Chain A
Amino acid sequence: MAIETDVAILGAGPCALFAVFELGLLDLKAELVDILDRPGGQCTELYPEKPIYDIPGLPVVNGQELTDRLLDQIKPFRAGFHLGQMANGLQRLGDGRWQLSTDAGTEIIAPVVLIAAGAGSFVPKRPPIAGIEAYEGKSVHYAVRKMDAFRDRDVVIAGGGDSALDWTLNLAPIAKSLTLVHHRDGFRAQQHSVNRMRELAAEGKIKFHVASVKGLHGAEGQLEAVTLSGADKQEWRHACDTFLPFFGLTIKLGPIAEFGLNLHENLVAVDTARFESETPGIFAIGDIATYPGKLKLILCGFHEAALMAQAAFHICRPNEKLRFQYTTSSSSLQKKLGVA
């Protein structure tokens, strides 16, 4: 059943989170959709531990802490989060509202849609191997949803991060054979995982090669072998029926491109009074918004969120008067924030 709200937000990065706050002060409810399985966007996905020095009032804060603080700040407004889902459809309903749908079947109906999607959706990096698309979903997978799908399989895992090592350790007992390949004999993964992997390799339970996958062989999406290339550039064929590349995530614009918005080099053009796109009712803030003088800074996104909320109010509450108030002095705002 569709969820009805005031503002449907694409993205759950810092600007989207602060938008929940600004909307909440105006009594506007929000539902957020993000492809990542936790809020924070690039802050938590790319640099959770890297310091940020240009958030006003916070001399230094890392990506995770900024996200945690924002989540704390918006807690009173009880926004709905729909995480691990890709927004893949947007259509205008007969009553003028918008319906946003996701690949997990969530449907959100709202008079205002806010695109705060950064540079788009985080999706797995696809190795540049010719013809890999034909195997995807059948014998090449970028994530493990059900371990049992790999029981009795001849699995090749590529990568050197925690996902590659974790799945090597988890799938080794159930796969028929498991081979880990990585371009170097060193890993960025947790040391205890690396140690355990080396033990399994020493016991002959898995194989580890300093190599990379250069080619795929099979038919109709079913893999039969991969070509591996070693550190000495020697190539050999390795029989297998499953290939799991784990090279982390990258950002692609994704389905937003098909939402019928007038995009300018993958950005949504907005006016700087309302942060509304050329399509009435659809707003954009943060890295995905563009306007003369735009800077891709978190602090600019915060400002954009505040102005967007004022404009969104008039669409969501056409018959009400917007009362502009300060959190320092307004007892009604303080009540909303749960501090009065």
Chain B
Amino acid sequence: MKIIATDRNGKEHVLEGRNDWSVMEILRDAGLPVAAECGGACACATCHVYVDQEWLDKLPPRSDAETDMLDMALAVEPNSRLSCQITCKPELDGIKVTVAPE
């Protein structure tokens, strides 16, 4: 599956997702500037991304923990998600995300 990720400069990166990896891990391994300070524990909100509207409904809804953690993120929008909480799977092939501001 592919992940189409836009960085903070507006540059688009096409990344190869891996089943069962989190989107955060794919972004981080590709060198995109997601701090992911807590390492994927849904405990820091530094892997905040915006998910393109067309893909938003295909994702499982936010858990309460993710919703709460997003309170610590900056510039939260209705399509905000923590990328450590999105798991790569074939149905998400082509998902578009944008790295949120720091």
Which A residues contact B (CB, under 8 angstroms)?
42, 46-47, 50, 119, 125-128, 159-161, 182-184, 186-188, 212, 247-248, 250-251, 296
Q: Is the CB of A212 within 8 A of B71?
A: no
Residues from chain A with a CB closer than 8 A to the CB of B30 are: none
Whole-angstrom distance between the Cβ of B30 and the nearest chain A Cβ = 15
Nearest opposing residue in chain A for B101, CB measure? A128
Minimal Cβ-Cβ distance residue in B for A160:
B71
Of A183, A250, A296, which is within 8 A of B35 by CB? A250
Q: Which of B37, B77, B101 has the most CB of A within 10 A?
A: B37
B59 at interface, CB cutoff 8 A: no
14 more A-B residue pairs beyond the given contacts A128-B74, A183-B71, A186-B67, with a C-beta to C-beta distance below 8 A: A47-B41, A50-B41, A127-B75, A128-B75, A128-B102, A159-B71, A160-B71, A184-B67, A187-B71, A188-B68, A188-B69, A188-B71, A188-B72, A247-B74
Contact A46 B41, beta carbon cutoff 8 Å: yes
Interface size on B, residues (CB 8 A): 22
Asked if B46 lies at the interface with its beta carbon under 8 angstroms from chain A, I say yes
Give residues in B with beta carbon < 8 Å to A: 35, 37-39, 41, 43-46, 67-77, 101-102
What DSSP secondary structure best describes chain A's contact surface?
A: loop
Interface pair A125/B37, CB less than 8 Å apart: no
30 contacts between A and B (CB under 8 A): A42-B38, A46-B37, A46-B38, A46-B43, A47-B38, A47-B41, A127-B74, A128-B74, A128-B75, A128-B101, A128-B102, A160-B71, A161-B71, A161-B72, A182-B71, A183-B70, A184-B71, A184-B76, A186-B67, A188-B68, A188-B69, A188-B72, A212-B76, A248-B72, A250-B35, A250-B37, A250-B44, A250-B46, A250-B102, A296-B39
CA distance A47 to B75 in the complex (A): 23
